[in-house]
Amino acid sequence: MIQKLIEKIKKTNAPIVVGLDPMMGYIPEHVQKKAFGEFGETLEGAAEAIWQFNKEIVDKTYDLIPAVKPQIAMYEQFGVPGLAAFKKTVDYCKEKGLVVIGDVKRGDIGSTSAAYAVAHLGKVKVGSKEYAPFDEDFMTINPYLGSDGVNPFLDVCREEKKGLFILVKTSNPSSGEFQDQLVDGRPLYELVGEKVAQWGEQCMGDDYSYVGAVVGATYPEMGKTLRRVMPKSYILVPGYGAQGGQGKDLVHFFNEDGLGAIVNSSRGIIAAYKQEAYARYGAENFGEASRAAVEDMVTDISRALAER
**Residues with catalytic function:** 105
Cα–Cα distances in angstroms (integers) from residue 191 to residues 42, 140, 159, 215, in the given order: 46, 18, 27, 13
Query: Which residues are registered as beta bridge partners of 187?
Result: 182
Residue 214 phi, psi (nearest 5) = -105, 120
Any residues with CB less than 8 A from the CB of 2 and at least 6 apart, and which? 163, 205, 208, 209, 210, 212, 234
Beta bridge partners of 126: 129
In the chain, which ranges are E strands? 16-20, 67-70, 99-106, 124-126, 129-131, 138-141, 163-169, 182-183, 186-187, 211-215, 235-237, 261-265
